[in-house]
Amino acid sequence: MEHKNKLAWVTGANGLIGNYIVQAAPKSAPQWRVRALTRGHFDLLDFDVVRREFQKDKPQLVIQCAAIPTVAGALANPELARRTNVEAVKVLAELAAEIQFVFLSTDFVFDGRKGNCVETDAVNPVSLYGETKVAAEKIVLKNQRHLIIRTSINCGTSKSGTRGFNEQLRLALQKESKMKLFTDEFRCPIFAGETARAIWELADKNCAGIFHVAGAEKLSRWQIGQLLVQRRPELKLKIELGSTKDFPGPARALDTSLDISKVQKILSEPLPGLTEWLASNPNELF
């Protein structure tokens, strides 16, 4: 991009990844002015207001992070999930037809049977949350200029203290006397600051289509828990080995690990695995 001091919208700026994208902008994207959009500015589900604000601001880039971002959240309110994760994306993507548009998607578009998924693998979500993201991806892909970022669970420090996977796990362990962590459910966790860096660089290089942006290491929830208690030894005795086979409930995608070879070839600095990142950042909160 050769823009100087152009305006970028970042929706969902109070969320974990959205907040890191805003924080990363001065270093990773100094050519952009960022409007960090939250519910306090306007309701993304009031589409007339969204259109009016867009026409007023005339941003040259939209990074769409706002979402109902969890399987449980989507199940609890399916209609809100569809309006937020699909209909709002459609409105924004149409408004951004002539500019760059970055849509944040998920590894849960896959059914978890294969693992190490590449961008061209067939999607087959097993959750309503994944279904809404697949529907939104189809909308975004209609424009060849637009970019889809599929990511995995992101760790970090959020404004609310509840958005990062590490924060959620730590809070749960502090409340419970014991917690079983699955040894047979795999993701590619990544520090949200690394996700933000990658998004700005891909946007800067005018990348389009689908890119997997996740950690370079596949870990089970049990392994992630082990990394957490290395920083929080007081929680060590609270975690126990568990299996998804022992827990009733809706179907789970067991291995949605992402192959990140495509993005690694483009980024100036490769994405690290979570173990590597933690070793390199001993003073970061986790």
Q: In the prediction, which pLDDT does 243 show?
A: 95
Q: In the prediction, which pLDDT does 164 show?
A: 79
Residue range 101-127, pLDDT digits in tens: 999 999 999 999 999 999 999 999 999
Could you list the pLDDT tens digit for every one of the 286 residues in the chain?
454 579 999 999 999 999 999 999 999 999 999 999 998 899 999 999 999 999 999 999 999 999 999 999 999 999 999 999 999 999 999 999 999 999 999 999 999 999 999 999 999 999 999 999 999 999 999 999 999 999 999 999 878 777 778 888 888 778 877 788 999 999 999 999 999 999 999 999 999 999 999 999 999 999 998 998 888 888 777 888 999 998 887 788 999 999 999 999 999 999 999 999 999 998 876 7
CATH class of 6-161+189-218+258-273: alpha beta
The structural domains of the chain, with segments of one domain joined by +, span 6-161+189-218+258-273
Per-residue DSSP letter, 249: S
Q: In the prediction, which pLDDT does 4 show?
A: 57
Q: Given phi > 0 = left and psi -120 to 50 = alpha, else beta, which region is 271?
A: beta
Q: Locate tokens 């860096």: which residue?
A: 197
Q: In the prediction, which pLDDT does 165 show?
A: 80
Q: Locate tokens 């979402």: which residue?
A: 67
Q: In the prediction, which pLDDT does 1 show?
A: 46
Integer-rounded Cα radius of gyration of the chain? 18
Q: In the prediction, which pLDDT does 125 show?
A: 98
Query: Residue 172 is inside which H or E element, if any?
Result: helix 165-175
Q: In the prediction, which pLDDT does 285 show?
A: 67
Cβ(256)–Cβ(186) below 8 Å: yes
